[in-house]
A = this chain, B = another copy of it.
Amino acid sequence: MRCLYDGGLRHKCGVFGIYNHNEPARLTYLGLYALQHRGQESAGMVTSNGRRLHLAKGMGQVADVFDPMILSRLKGKSAIGHDRYSTAGESGLINCQPLLIDSYWGQIALAHNGNLVNALSLRSELVRQGSAFITTSDTEVILHLIVRSSRKSFHDALVEALLKIRGAFSLLLMTVDEMIAIRDPYGFRPLVLGKLRNSRVIASETCALDLIGAKFIREIQPGEILIINKDGLQSIFPFPEREHAQCIFELIYFARPDSVIFGESVNLYRNCLGRRLARESHVDADIVVPVPDSGVSAALGYASESKIPFDFGLIRNHYVGRTFIEPKQAIRDLGVKVKLNPVRGLIRGKKVVLVDDSIVRATTSRKIVAMIRRAGAKEVHMRISSPPIISPCFYGIDTPTKEELIASSHSVNEIRQFIRADSLNYLSLEGILSCVKNGEKRFCTACFTEKYPIDFPYERFPQLQLFEKQK
Binding site for B on A (CB under 8 A): 1, 22-23, 26-27, 29-30, 33-34, 36-37, 40, 52, 54-56, 61-63, 66-68, 71, 73-74, 89-91, 93-94, 99-104, 108, 127-128, 130-134, 136, 140, 143-144, 147-150, 207, 210-213, 256-258, 260, 265, 267-268, 271, 293, 296-297, 300, 304, 309-312, 315, 317-321, 323-329, 331-332, 334, 337-338, 341-346, 470-471
14 A/B residue pairs, CB under 8 Å, sorted by A = A61-B319, A63-B324, A68-B325, A100-B134, A101-B134, A104-B128, A134-B134, A207-B315, A211-B334, A265-B343, A267-B311, A267-B346, A268-B346, A296-B312
B130-A147 in contact (CB<8A):
yes
A108: chain B residues at CB < 8 Å are: 132
A318 in contact with B318 given A100-B134, A101-B134 (CB within 8 Å)? yes
A311: chain B residues at CB < 8 Å are: 267, 271, 300
CA A67 to CA B331, docked complex, whole Å: 19
CA A130 to CA B130, docked complex, whole Å: 9
Majority secondary structure of chain A interface residues (helix, strand, loop or mixed): mixed
A317: chain B residues at CB < 8 Å are: 33-34, 36, 256
Q: How many copies does the complex hold?
A: 4
B90-A337 in contact (CB<8A):
no
A54: chain B residues at CB < 8 Å are: 90, 471
A26-B257 in contact (CB<8A):
no
CA A56 to CA B74, docked complex, whole Å: 25
CA A470 to CA B52, docked complex, whole Å: 7
CA A324 to CA B341, docked complex, whole Å: 29
Q: How far apart are A218's CB and chain B's nearest CB, in angstroms?
A: 15
A132-B27 in contact (CB<8A):
no
A136: chain B residues at CB < 8 Å are: 102
A91-B127 in contact (CB<8A):
no
A132-B102 in contact (CB<8A):
yes
B325-A66 in contact (CB<8A):
yes
A148: chain B residues at CB < 8 Å are: 130
A127-B149 in contact (CB<8A):
no
A300 in contact with B296 given A265-B345, A341-B210 (CB within 8 Å)? no
